[in-house]
């Protein structure tokens, strides 16, 4: 079964909503949630997607980028994994500090 473009974009928007609301899960769940953005990127690289997909993705990506620290914590991964949220719940904030040495606001 193929997941529709709209469904994938809705999933990405839900992840962004979670981050906006201060992501309250662990780092493994956060990384798993980011995998939907990777799936979207793979689909786009295959080509033949309608223009509205790229337009909506650009809007969602802009929302997500606004939630991230400007400096990447990694340089070997796509931007959505290279940058971390500027704020999150205590569990994710602690893990980001442990893994990458960054301190983010706990909300």
Range of the domain at 14: 5-106
Please, which pLDDT band fits residue 3 given cuts at 50, 70 and 90? confident
Domain count for the chain, please give it.
1
User: CA 71 to CA 83: how far, in whole Å?
Assistant: 7
pLDDT value at residue 1: 58
Q: Can you give the pTM of this predicted structure?
A: 0.93
Q: What is the pLDDT of residues 24-33, one digit of tens each?
A: 999 999 999 9
Q: Mean pLDDT across the stretch 9-29?
A: 98
Q: For residue 36, how many other CB atoms are within 10 A of its CB?
A: 20
87-88 and 105-106 beta bridge pairing: parallel
In percent, the amount of the chain with pLDDT more than 70 equals 99
């Amino acid at each position: 079964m193929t997941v529709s473009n709209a469904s994938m974009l809705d999933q990405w928007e839900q992840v962004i909503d979670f981050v906006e609301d201060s992501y309250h899960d662990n780092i493994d769940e956060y990384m798993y949630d980011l995998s939907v953005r990777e799936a979207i990127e793979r689909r786009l690289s295959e080509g033949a997607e309608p223009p509205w997909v790229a337009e909506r993705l650009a809007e969602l990506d802009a929302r997500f980028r606004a939630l991230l620290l400007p400096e990447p914590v990694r340089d070997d991964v796509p931007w959505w994994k290279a940058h971390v949220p500027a704020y999150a719940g205590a569990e994710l904030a602690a893990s980001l500090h442990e893994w990458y040495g960054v301190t983010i606001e706990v909300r």
